[in-house]
Amino acid sequence: MGKPATGAAARAKPGVGKSVVGTPIVGKSTVGKPAAAARQGRPKTANRLKRIEAKHAAILDAALALFSRYGLHGTTVEEIARTAGVSKTNLFYYFASKEDVYVGVLSRLLDLWLEPLREFQLDSDPIEGIREFIRRKMLFSRAHPEASRLFCLEMVQGAPLLRGELETSLKALVDSKVPVIEAWVAAGKLAPVDPHHLIFALWATTQHYADFASQIDALLKTGLDDDRFVEEATRNVQRIVLDGLRVRNEG
C-alpha cells in the first residue's frame, strides 16, 4: 500500500508520515547507500560494489541536474531514472524514496561547496589570498553551476535539510576564519571591515554568476560557458572588492 504523502502535505505537516525532508543530514555515511543493498544479501565482490557505486553516482548526477533546474517538487522520479538511464523501479531499488535521492544529492553538494572556503588560507598576504579566493570561487561556479544553483535553491527556501550542517560544519569553518581576518584588520593589512560581511560579499559576488546565469544571459547573451567572460568577470570582481569604485590618487 503506497504511502505517498508527497508534495505540500508532506512538508505542511512535519512529523506526520515518513517524510525525510526536515530531517537534518546527520550521518552522511548512511545517506546515499542503496536502500535494499544496504542490508546486504550476499558477500559483494569489488566488482559488484563498483558497478553499484557507478549506478548510484549516475542517479545522483541526473538528480542534481534536474533538481537544480526544477526543484524537488518540480522533478519526477521517472525523469531522474530516464536521465540516469535506469528504470524507475530500479531507482527505487537503490534509493528508498525520492527524498532519499534528494538528501543524497545535497549531501555530496555541501562538501563540494565548502571546499573553496576550506582552502581560504590567506597565508601571508591577505590581498593576494582574497584575490585567489575569488578566482577559485569563480572557477567553481563555472565547473559546478548546477551545484551552485541547487545550493542557492535550498538556501532561498529556508534550507530545512541543511540547517543542521550550516550551524555546525559551515559555522565552524566561518568562525575559524573570522579571527584571522580581524587580526589582519588590526595589523593594518586590510581596510576596517566586518569579517562576516566580507565573507558574504565574496560569496555573493562570485555565486551570482552561476545563480543568476539566466539573467546575465538575457542581458549579455553570454555566461560562464565563455572563458573570456569568466576572466573578465573575475577581474572585475577582484577590482571592485579589492580596490573599490572610488578613484585612487596614489599609485
Partner DNA sequence: GTCTATAGTCGGATAGAC
Partner DNA sequence: GTCTATCCGACTATAGAC
Residues 30 to 89: which contact DNA by CB under 7 A? 37, 41-42, 44, 48, 52, 55, 75-78, 86-89
Distance CA 236, CA 251 (A): 19
Nearer to DNA, 90 or 168 (CB): 90
Greatest alpha-carbon span in the chain: 75
Does residue number 212 form part of the binding site for a second copy (CB under 8 A)?
Answer: yes
SS (H, E, C) 149-190: HHHHHHHHCCCCCCHHHHHHHHHHHHHHHHHHHHHHHHCCCC
Residue choice 5, 9, 36, 38 for contact with a second copy (CB under 8 A): 9
CA-to-CA dists, residue 229 to 158, 203, 223, 233, 234, angstroms: 31, 19, 6, 6, 8
Does residue number 2 form part of the binding site for DNA (CB under 7 A)?
Answer: yes
Does residue number 73 form part of the binding site for a second copy (CB under 8 A)?
Answer: yes
Residue choice 57, 112, 139, 166 for contact with a second copy (CB under 8 A): 166
* 24: helix, strand or coil: coil
Residues 197, 135 contacting (CB under 8 angstroms): no
Does residue number 190 form part of the binding site for a second copy (CB under 8 A)?
Answer: yes
Shortest Å, Cβ 42 to a second copy: 36
Residue choice 28, 33, 136, 189 for contact with a second copy (CB under 8 A): 189
Residues 81 to 110: which contact DNA by CB under 7 A? 86-90, 92-93, 96-99
Shortest Å, Cβ 81 to a second copy: 12
Q: In the numeric block, which cell numbers belong to residue 39?
A: 542490508
